[in-house]
Amino acid sequence: MRGDAALIEALERAHIHPLWDRYKRITPVAPRPKDPPMHDTAAVPVGTGTFGSRSIAVGGSALHKAAEKVPEKGRHIAAHLLEAAAGGIKFEAGRFKVAGTDRAVSFDEVARAANVAHRLPLETLEPGLDESAFYDPPNFAFSNGAHICELEVDPETGAVELVSYHAVDDIGTVINPLIVEGRLHGGLAQGIGQALHERTVYEEGQLLSASFMDYAVPRADELPSFVSETDESQPCTHNPLGAKGCGESGAIGAPAAVVSALLDALAPLGVADIEMPATPYRVWRAIMGK
Protein backbone atom coordinates (compact mmCIF):
# COMPACT_ATOMS: atom_id res chain seq x y z
CA MET A 1 0.00 0.00 0.00
CA ARG A 2 1.36 3.38 -1.03
CA GLY A 3 0.32 6.78 0.26
CA ASP A 4 1.00 10.15 -1.31
CA ALA A 5 -0.52 13.60 -0.90
CA ALA A 6 -4.12 12.66 -1.65
CA LEU A 7 -4.18 9.15 -3.04
CA ILE A 8 -3.99 5.67 -1.66
CA GLU A 9 -2.79 3.00 -4.06
CA ALA A 10 -3.22 -0.67 -3.32
CA LEU A 11 -1.33 -3.36 -5.19
CA GLU A 12 -3.16 -6.65 -4.84
CA ARG A 13 -2.32 -10.21 -5.72
CA ALA A 14 -6.00 -11.06 -6.15
CA HIS A 15 -8.68 -9.42 -8.25
CA ILE A 16 -10.53 -7.21 -5.76
CA HIS A 17 -13.47 -5.84 -7.76
CA PRO A 18 -16.08 -6.65 -5.05
CA LEU A 19 -13.96 -4.90 -2.45
CA TRP A 20 -12.75 -1.72 -4.04
CA ASP A 21 -15.97 0.32 -4.09
CA ARG A 22 -16.22 0.04 -0.31
CA TYR A 23 -12.50 0.48 0.30
CA LYS A 24 -12.97 3.09 3.01
CA ARG A 25 -15.17 0.78 5.07
CA ILE A 26 -12.42 -1.78 5.62
CA THR A 27 -9.37 0.46 5.76
CA PRO A 28 -8.50 3.06 8.39
CA VAL A 29 -7.10 5.61 5.92
CA ALA A 30 -9.10 8.54 4.67
CA PRO A 31 -8.07 9.94 1.26
CA ARG A 32 -9.70 8.88 -1.94
CA PRO A 33 -8.32 5.57 -3.21
CA LYS A 34 -6.64 5.24 -6.56
CA ASP A 35 -7.99 2.54 -8.84
CA PRO A 36 -5.80 -0.52 -8.27
CA PRO A 37 -3.93 -2.18 -11.12
CA MET A 38 -5.55 -5.52 -11.86
CA HIS A 39 -3.28 -8.48 -12.56
CA ASP A 40 -0.26 -6.28 -13.31
CA THR A 41 2.80 -8.48 -12.81
CA ALA A 42 5.02 -5.44 -13.32
CA ALA A 43 3.59 -4.00 -10.08
CA VAL A 44 2.83 -7.16 -8.10
CA PRO A 45 5.18 -10.01 -9.00
CA VAL A 46 3.21 -12.96 -7.63
CA GLY A 47 -0.48 -13.78 -7.77
CA THR A 48 -2.78 -16.77 -7.95
CA GLY A 49 -6.07 -15.23 -9.03
CA THR A 50 -9.57 -14.93 -7.66
CA PHE A 51 -10.72 -18.54 -7.64
CA GLY A 52 -12.88 -20.03 -4.92
CA SER A 53 -14.55 -16.71 -4.01
CA ARG A 54 -11.35 -15.84 -2.18
CA SER A 55 -10.82 -12.20 -3.18
CA ILE A 56 -12.47 -10.47 -0.22
CA ALA A 57 -11.64 -13.08 2.42
CA VAL A 58 -7.96 -13.38 1.48
CA GLY A 59 -7.02 -10.41 -0.70
CA GLY A 60 -9.27 -8.05 1.24
CA SER A 61 -7.79 -9.21 4.54
CA ALA A 62 -4.26 -8.58 3.25
CA LEU A 63 -5.31 -5.10 2.13
CA HIS A 64 -6.89 -4.44 5.52
CA LYS A 65 -3.74 -5.51 7.38
CA ALA A 66 -1.52 -3.35 5.16
CA ALA A 67 -3.83 -0.37 5.59
CA GLU A 68 -3.70 -0.70 9.38
CA LYS A 69 0.05 -0.13 9.28
CA VAL A 70 -0.19 3.19 7.45
CA PRO A 71 -1.74 5.30 10.25
CA GLU A 72 0.74 3.86 12.73
CA LYS A 73 3.67 5.21 10.75
CA GLY A 74 1.68 8.35 10.04
CA ARG A 75 1.40 9.00 13.79
CA HIS A 76 5.18 9.30 14.05
CA ILE A 77 5.37 11.70 11.11
CA ALA A 78 2.46 13.73 12.53
CA ALA A 79 4.19 13.83 15.90
CA HIS A 80 7.26 15.36 14.23
CA LEU A 81 5.15 17.94 12.37
CA LEU A 82 3.18 18.86 15.49
CA GLU A 83 6.22 18.71 17.79
CA ALA A 84 4.46 16.24 20.07
CA ALA A 85 5.07 12.73 21.38
CA ALA A 86 3.91 9.97 19.05
CA GLY A 87 2.11 8.32 21.94
CA GLY A 88 -0.15 11.36 22.25
CA ILE A 89 -1.27 11.33 18.60
CA LYS A 90 -4.66 9.92 17.65
CA PHE A 91 -5.90 9.19 14.12
CA GLU A 92 -9.59 10.02 13.66
CA ALA A 93 -11.69 10.92 10.62
CA GLY A 94 -8.67 11.30 8.38
CA ARG A 95 -6.75 13.60 10.74
CA PHE A 96 -3.89 13.11 13.17
CA LYS A 97 -4.66 14.98 16.39
CA VAL A 98 -2.77 15.74 19.56
CA ALA A 99 -4.93 14.21 22.27
CA GLY A 100 -6.76 16.74 24.39
CA THR A 101 -6.04 19.67 22.06
CA ASP A 102 -7.30 21.12 18.78
CA ARG A 103 -3.90 20.78 17.13
CA ALA A 104 -4.05 18.47 14.12
CA VAL A 105 -2.74 17.74 10.64
CA SER A 106 -4.61 16.05 7.82
CA PHE A 107 -3.65 12.76 6.25
CA ASP A 108 -2.79 14.69 3.07
CA GLU A 109 -0.26 16.81 4.97
CA VAL A 110 1.30 13.77 6.61
CA ALA A 111 1.49 11.90 3.30
CA ARG A 112 3.10 14.90 1.63
CA ALA A 113 5.63 15.28 4.43
CA ALA A 114 6.39 11.55 4.36
CA ASN A 115 7.84 11.94 0.89
CA VAL A 116 9.87 15.09 1.59
CA ALA A 117 12.87 13.56 3.29
CA HIS A 118 14.59 16.77 4.38
CA ARG A 119 11.66 17.54 6.72
CA LEU A 120 12.07 14.30 8.66
CA PRO A 121 14.54 13.16 11.31
CA LEU A 122 16.12 10.51 9.08
CA GLU A 123 18.04 8.94 11.93
CA THR A 124 14.79 7.79 13.53
CA LEU A 125 12.13 7.96 10.81
CA GLU A 126 12.27 6.48 7.34
CA PRO A 127 10.51 8.51 4.61
CA GLY A 128 7.48 7.18 2.77
CA LEU A 129 4.14 5.63 3.66
CA ASP A 130 4.55 2.38 1.76
CA GLU A 131 3.38 -0.70 3.62
CA SER A 132 2.79 -4.31 2.68
CA ALA A 133 1.16 -7.28 4.33
CA PHE A 134 0.77 -10.98 3.67
CA TYR A 135 -2.29 -12.88 4.78
CA ASP A 136 -2.48 -16.65 4.83
CA PRO A 137 -5.88 -17.75 6.20
CA PRO A 138 -5.67 -20.34 8.97
CA ASN A 139 -8.81 -22.05 7.69
CA PHE A 140 -11.38 -21.96 4.92
CA ALA A 141 -14.36 -19.59 4.97
CA PHE A 142 -17.57 -21.57 4.60
CA SER A 143 -20.52 -19.75 3.04
CA ASN A 144 -23.95 -21.30 3.25
CA GLY A 145 -27.55 -20.52 2.43
CA ALA A 146 -31.02 -21.73 1.53
CA HIS A 147 -32.66 -21.43 -1.90
CA ILE A 148 -36.31 -22.01 -2.75
CA CYS A 149 -37.61 -22.27 -6.29
CA GLU A 150 -41.24 -22.35 -7.47
CA LEU A 151 -41.91 -23.40 -11.05
CA GLU A 152 -44.63 -24.67 -13.36
CA VAL A 153 -44.40 -27.29 -16.11
CA ASP A 154 -46.49 -27.40 -19.28
CA PRO A 155 -47.24 -31.12 -19.68
CA GLU A 156 -48.03 -30.69 -23.38
CA THR A 157 -44.68 -29.17 -24.36
CA GLY A 158 -42.37 -29.82 -21.41
CA ALA A 159 -41.66 -26.09 -21.06
CA VAL A 160 -40.62 -24.98 -17.57
CA GLU A 161 -41.59 -21.55 -16.24
CA LEU A 162 -39.98 -20.16 -13.11
CA VAL A 163 -42.65 -18.51 -10.97
CA SER A 164 -40.50 -17.26 -8.09
CA TYR A 165 -37.06 -17.70 -6.60
CA HIS A 166 -36.03 -16.84 -3.03
CA ALA A 167 -32.54 -17.07 -1.57
CA VAL A 168 -30.99 -16.31 1.81
CA ASP A 169 -27.19 -16.46 1.91
CA ASP A 170 -24.74 -16.31 4.79
CA ILE A 171 -21.62 -14.80 3.26
CA GLY A 172 -20.32 -13.23 6.46
CA THR A 173 -19.68 -9.50 6.52
CA VAL A 174 -21.11 -7.77 3.46
CA ILE A 175 -18.59 -5.18 2.28
CA ASN A 176 -20.54 -3.83 -0.70
CA PRO A 177 -24.28 -4.66 -0.63
CA LEU A 178 -24.95 -3.53 -4.20
CA ILE A 179 -22.18 -5.60 -5.76
CA VAL A 180 -23.01 -8.58 -3.54
CA GLU A 181 -26.64 -8.50 -4.66
CA GLY A 182 -25.57 -8.25 -8.29
CA ARG A 183 -23.19 -11.18 -7.93
CA LEU A 184 -25.86 -13.28 -6.21
CA HIS A 185 -28.40 -12.51 -8.94
CA GLY A 186 -25.88 -13.16 -11.69
CA GLY A 187 -24.96 -16.47 -10.08
CA LEU A 188 -28.62 -17.43 -9.91
CA ALA A 189 -29.02 -16.74 -13.62
CA GLN A 190 -25.94 -18.83 -14.33
CA GLY A 191 -27.18 -21.71 -12.17
CA ILE A 192 -30.65 -21.60 -13.72
CA GLY A 193 -29.04 -21.66 -17.15
CA GLN A 194 -27.09 -24.75 -16.15
CA ALA A 195 -30.25 -26.44 -14.86
CA LEU A 196 -32.56 -25.66 -17.77
CA HIS A 197 -30.75 -24.36 -20.84
CA GLU A 198 -26.99 -24.49 -21.26
CA ARG A 199 -25.40 -27.42 -23.05
CA THR A 200 -22.21 -27.90 -25.03
CA VAL A 201 -22.99 -30.07 -28.04
CA TYR A 202 -20.53 -31.90 -30.29
CA GLU A 203 -21.19 -34.01 -33.37
CA GLU A 204 -18.30 -36.10 -34.67
CA GLY A 205 -15.83 -33.72 -33.06
CA GLN A 206 -17.50 -30.58 -34.40
CA LEU A 207 -18.75 -28.08 -31.80
CA LEU A 208 -22.34 -27.23 -32.65
CA SER A 209 -22.93 -24.69 -29.87
CA ALA A 210 -20.02 -22.37 -30.59
CA SER A 211 -21.93 -19.08 -30.45
CA PHE A 212 -24.76 -17.55 -28.46
CA MET A 213 -26.98 -18.16 -31.45
CA ASP A 214 -26.71 -21.86 -30.63
CA TYR A 215 -25.73 -21.93 -26.94
CA ALA A 216 -28.84 -21.26 -24.88
CA VAL A 217 -28.15 -18.84 -22.03
CA PRO A 218 -31.25 -17.70 -20.10
CA ARG A 219 -32.78 -14.40 -21.16
CA ALA A 220 -34.14 -11.79 -18.79
CA ASP A 221 -37.74 -12.58 -19.78
CA GLU A 222 -37.21 -16.20 -18.70
CA LEU A 223 -36.17 -15.29 -15.17
CA PRO A 224 -38.35 -14.13 -12.27
CA SER A 225 -37.53 -11.15 -10.09
CA PHE A 226 -35.21 -12.73 -7.56
CA VAL A 227 -35.83 -12.17 -3.86
CA SER A 228 -32.52 -12.37 -2.03
CA GLU A 229 -31.28 -11.58 1.46
CA THR A 230 -27.96 -11.86 3.23
CA ASP A 231 -27.44 -12.97 6.82
CA GLU A 232 -24.51 -11.25 8.54
CA SER A 233 -25.16 -12.72 11.99
CA GLN A 234 -22.33 -15.25 11.74
CA PRO A 235 -19.20 -13.54 10.37
CA CYS A 236 -16.14 -15.58 9.58
CA THR A 237 -14.16 -16.03 12.80
CA HIS A 238 -10.66 -16.29 11.38
CA ASN A 239 -10.17 -13.32 9.07
CA PRO A 240 -10.16 -9.67 10.15
CA LEU A 241 -13.11 -8.71 7.95
CA GLY A 242 -15.42 -11.55 8.95
CA ALA A 243 -16.07 -12.05 5.25
CA LYS A 244 -16.89 -15.23 3.35
CA GLY A 245 -17.20 -15.76 -0.39
CA CYS A 246 -20.30 -14.85 -2.40
CA GLY A 247 -19.21 -15.25 -6.00
CA GLU A 248 -20.46 -18.80 -6.48
CA SER A 249 -23.49 -18.84 -4.20
CA GLY A 250 -26.16 -18.54 -6.86
CA ALA A 251 -24.40 -20.83 -9.31
CA ILE A 252 -24.16 -23.58 -6.68
CA GLY A 253 -27.60 -23.26 -5.11
CA ALA A 254 -29.73 -22.71 -8.21
CA PRO A 255 -29.20 -25.99 -10.12
CA ALA A 256 -30.12 -28.07 -7.07
CA ALA A 257 -33.12 -25.90 -6.19
CA VAL A 258 -34.48 -25.79 -9.75
CA VAL A 259 -34.06 -29.50 -10.48
CA SER A 260 -35.50 -30.45 -7.08
CA ALA A 261 -38.56 -28.27 -7.75
CA LEU A 262 -38.89 -29.78 -11.23
CA LEU A 263 -38.76 -33.33 -9.90
CA ASP A 264 -41.35 -32.43 -7.25
CA ALA A 265 -43.63 -31.21 -10.04
CA LEU A 266 -43.08 -34.37 -12.11
CA ALA A 267 -43.27 -36.84 -9.21
CA PRO A 268 -47.03 -37.53 -9.63
CA LEU A 269 -46.21 -38.65 -13.18
CA GLY A 270 -43.65 -41.16 -11.94
CA VAL A 271 -40.57 -39.17 -12.94
CA ALA A 272 -37.81 -39.68 -10.38
CA ASP A 273 -34.77 -38.34 -12.23
CA ILE A 274 -33.90 -36.01 -15.10
CA GLU A 275 -30.61 -34.98 -16.64
CA MET A 276 -29.48 -31.36 -16.81
CA PRO A 277 -30.12 -29.24 -18.72
CA ALA A 278 -33.83 -30.01 -18.34
CA THR A 279 -34.81 -28.71 -21.76
CA PRO A 280 -38.45 -28.83 -22.82
CA TYR A 281 -37.65 -31.85 -25.01
CA ARG A 282 -36.10 -33.77 -22.12
CA VAL A 283 -38.95 -32.85 -19.79
CA TRP A 284 -41.52 -33.87 -22.42
CA ARG A 285 -39.76 -37.23 -22.96
CA ALA A 286 -39.72 -37.80 -19.20
CA ILE A 287 -43.44 -37.06 -19.01
CA MET A 288 -44.10 -39.43 -21.91
CA GLY A 289 -42.01 -42.10 -20.22
CA LYS A 290 -39.53 -42.26 -23.10
Give percent above pLDDT 70 in the chain.
83
Question: Domains along the chain?
Answer: 2-119 (3.30.365.10), 144-288 (3.30.365.10)
pLDDT of 184-195, one tens digit each?
999 999 999 999
Q: What average pLDDT does the segment 147-165 reach?
A: 96
Q: Is it the case that residue 5 has pLDDT exceeding 50?
A: no
Structure confidence at residue 22 as a pLDDT band (50, 70, 90):
very low
pTM of the model: 0.77
* pLDDT (0 to 100) of residue 247: 84
Is the pLDDT score of 18 beyond 60? no
pLDDT higher than 80, residue 29: no
pLDDT for res 257: 97
Average pLDDT estimate for 198-218: 92
The string of DSSP letters for the chain reads -EE-SSEEE---SS--HHHHTTHHHH-S--SEEEPPPSS-TTTS-----SGGG-IIIIIHHHHHHHHHHHHHHHHHHHHHHHTS-GGGEEEETTEEEETTSS-EEEHHHHHHHHT-GGGS-TTT--S----------SS----EEEEEEEEEE-TTT--EEEEEEEEEEE-BS-S-HHHHHHHHHHHHHHHHHHHHT----EETTEES--STTTS-PPPGGGS---EEEE--SS--SSSTT-B---TTHHHHHHHHHHHHHHHHHHGGGT----PSS--HHHHHHHHHT-
